Amino acid sequence: MDFIDETFPVQQPEFVLCTKKVLYTFFVFIYDLLYELDKPISLDSKAKSISLETIAKIKLANERLYNRTAPQKYLEATDRRTTNPKERKLLFEYLTNSLQ
């Protein structure tokens, strides 16, 4: 959470990835970038660094959600039933694809 707070404009309403509806998915996405979800974590695990280029791509993905220019299925995933695993997977997929 510290990384998110220090890196992204979390207090700005246009940063939709930190809204109550999608924050959980955004947090898991960032956690995956820092620690990799598929690897066991231990007390001596070190966070990977996230490049400025990757941060810029995440901000652009957020901007597309905010401006409603992201693909429709991802907009719908952030608009309704955001506690549903299907919608969370879609949003995670969108964020992952935005890095490519």
Residue carrying the six token digits 């930190």: 18
The pLDDT tens digits for 13-63 are 889 998 888 899 999 999 999 988 887 777 777 888 999 999 999 999 999
Q: Read off the pLDDT of each residue in 2-10 and give the average, rounded to a whole number.
A: 88
Single out the residue of 47, 40, 82 nearest to residue 74, CA to CA.
82
Model confidence band, residue 81 (pLDDT cutoffs 50, 70, 90): low
Q: How far apart, in whole angstroms, are the C-alpha atoms of residue 78 and residue 15?
A: 13
Alpha-carbon gap, residue 87 to 72, rounded angstroms: 12
CA distance linking residue 77 with residue 24, whole number of Å: 13
Q: Residue 66 — pLDDT band, cuts 50, 70, 90?
A: very high
**Helical spans, DSSP H, in 1-100:** 2-7, 23-35, 52-66, 72-79, 85-98
> With a threshold of 0.85, does the pTM exceed it?
yes
- The pLDDT, as a whole number, for residue 17 is 92
pLDDT value of residue 82: 67
The total number of residues shown for the chain amounts to 100
